[in-house]
């Protein structure tokens, strides 16, 4: 390819709708990006908790995961913990399970306990539906922001 022709090809590649390459990168991994976002958040938490002593990162990983799971996430409108378990985290799950087990054995009214569990499952389903709706709203907003950055090009 001649010198000027190579420059013209490069200009054509860089003058796409978002002024970057418009061809697919066939060597890139095909992921949705959720894993990278999660890893970035965990890495940020670990940097803050471990500090300079990086030998302790494996000890702090469980605490970092707990902090990440209990932090509010904008796209879903709640914490991942609340989305999964249906309630905010106040007690570790093991303690909460033991407390429920003790209450169940003290009350002996299995029908009331069962009805309460069914009600909690229904609330959890509603919470997940609401989180999905919040995610769709967030996705629409980010699409509008992205589309606003795209320049309209007229080719003759």
SS (H, E, C) 76-131: CCECHHHHHHCCCCCCCHHHHHHHHHHHHHHHCCHHHHHHHHHHHHHHHHHHHHHH
Mean pLDDT of the chain: 74
pLDDT, average across residues 20-34: 59
Closest CA to 37 of 73, 66, 87: 73
Question: What's the CA gap between 71 and 69, in Å, rounded?
Answer: 6
pLDDT at 23: 55
Prediction pTM value? 0.38
**Confidence label for 71 from pLDDT (cuts 50, 70 and 90):** confident
pLDDT at 29: 60
Question: How many CB atoms lie under 10 A from the CB of residue 127?
Answer: 19
Element (DSSP H or E) covering residue 64: helix 57-69
Position with higher pLDDT, 137 vs 14: 137
Residue 24 CB-half CA count within 13 A: 5
The percentage of residues in the chain with a pLDDT greater than 70, rounded to a whole number, is 63
Question: What's the CA gap between 33 and 94, in Å, rounded?
Answer: 32
pLDDT in tens, 78-100: 777 776 777 666 655 565 566 56
pLDDT in tens, 111-149: 776 787 788 888 888 888 888 898 899 999 999 999 999
């Amino acid at each position: 390819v001649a010198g000027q022709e190579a420059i013209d090809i490069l200009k054509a590649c860089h003058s796409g709708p978002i002024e970057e390459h418009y061809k697919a990168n066939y060597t890139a991994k095909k992921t949705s990006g959720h894993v990278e976002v999660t890893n970035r958040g965990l890495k940020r938490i670990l940097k803050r908790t471990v500090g300079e002593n990086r030998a302790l990162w494996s000890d702090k990983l469980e605490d970092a995961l707990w902090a990440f799971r209990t932090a509010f996430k904008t796209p879903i409108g709640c914490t991942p913990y609340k989305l999964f378990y249906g309630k905010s985290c106040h007690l570790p799950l093991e303690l909460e399970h033991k407390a429920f087990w003790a209450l169940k054995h003290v009350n002996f009214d299995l029908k009331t306990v069962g009805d309460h569990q069914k009600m909690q499952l229904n609330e959890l389903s509603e919470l997940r539906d609401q989180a999905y709706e919040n995610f769709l709203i967030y996705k629409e907003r980010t699409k509008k922001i992205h589309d606003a950055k795209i320049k309209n090009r007229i080719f003759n």
